[in-house]
Amino acid sequence: MPEDLKKPPEDGELLHAAVHCYLSTILAIADCMVELCPDVGVAFKNRWRRLPQRIAFDLSAKALEVSRRTFEMDIHTFGELVGQYYTKGVPLMEMIASNGMQVADTVLERTARHIVLLETLAESIETAADLDAPQEIRGTLEHQSSGIRNCARQAEEELLPLVTRFRSLVKECEQIVSLAKGAIVVDPESGFLNANGFRQEHELRTREATPSCLLLIDCSARLQAGPSCSDTHFSEIAEALSKRIAEPFRPNDSIGRLAPNRFAIVFDGEIEQARGRLDQIKRSISGKYSSPSGRIILEAEVRLFESRDPQAIQETHGRAVQSLASVV
């Protein structure tokens, strides 16, 4: 190792780099807050974009600690506000999307039925008026028939366009829900990236051309009683399995769950470094797991690829496409 790399940086240089990283991170988060939810995030960004000037004017441990505490409080406040903004809105849209079209069709069918009923009633009254009825009764019947026909015409001209507009709004909700589901990148059972999220991460790492490689982990399992495990069984042990898988890897390594029993990792390092850890990874994952269905015995197979290997891309991206199809 060159001698100059062994020397720690000067205190001033280190402080400058640390403060720069701190400020850059806060400003990047503020930008993301605006992108995530402008209605809530703009006020926070306006507050924090002035932070570099304030820190430059008073660069002290106390000032940094005050800004850290304030930013931490703002982040939690932002999360609570945005949570109320989205967590109720998207499920409501999904409910409208799933039930709205049926409601619209029911309203349309019943409105049309009532229009037909009114027109039939008006026709019956007109027929009665044409009989040998006294003139004063005939005039009353004709007046009533005309009123009923006008009512039917108003229903057709006013109600049917409203139902059509409602159907259009339901379709917009369906599209929003579809886009929202397509944007989900987390597997809820393991906490890892799902197939869609991992595909995006893999593509990003590939474009950056940083040293990395890809590990694919395929798990086979059986109950201790003998039968092979189903996807349901893998769901039962997903949390415990994900903890074992995550343990050997670092924050810079991206982990995804492509299927109930398949995981993939973009390893942030050289392929030889990863190859030396394959046996350790396999041993740490394989073994016995407890589940509501009983003891599960799992065996892991770990394969290593160059990040740009066509087979690896097909196996990861193909899974992502299948996963997206099932969501949409």
Report the share of the chain in percent with pLDDT over 70. Answer: 91
Going by C-alpha positions, the residue among 281, 283, 289 that lies closest to residue 240 is 289
218, 291 in Cβ contact below 8 A?
no
Q: Which residues pair with 221 in a beta bridge?
A: 298
Q: Which residues pair with 300 in a beta bridge?
A: 219
Name the more confident of 210 and 106: 106
The pLDDT, as a whole number, for residue 157 is 85
Residue type, 310: P
Kindly report the pTM of this predicted structure. 0.60
Residue range 239-250: mean pLDDT, rounded = 92
Alpha carbons within 13 A on the beta-carbon side of 303 = 14
212, 252 in Cβ contact below 8 A?
no
Q: How sure is the predictor about 167, in pLDDT bands with cuts at 50, 70 and 90?
A: confident
**For strand 262-267 and strand 254-259, is the pairing parallel, antiparallel, or unpaired?**
antiparallel
As given in the structure block, the two tokens for residue 226 are 């003998």
Res. 48: pLDDT tops 80: yes
Q: How sure is the predictor about 3, in pLDDT bands with cuts at 50, 70 and 90?
A: very low
| pLDDT tens readout for residues 176-189 | 888 777 777 889 89
Phi, psi dihedrals of residue 186, rounded to the nearest 5°? -115, 135
The gap from C-alpha 144 to its chain's centroid, in whole angstroms, comes to 58
Average pLDDT over the chain, rounded to an integer: 83
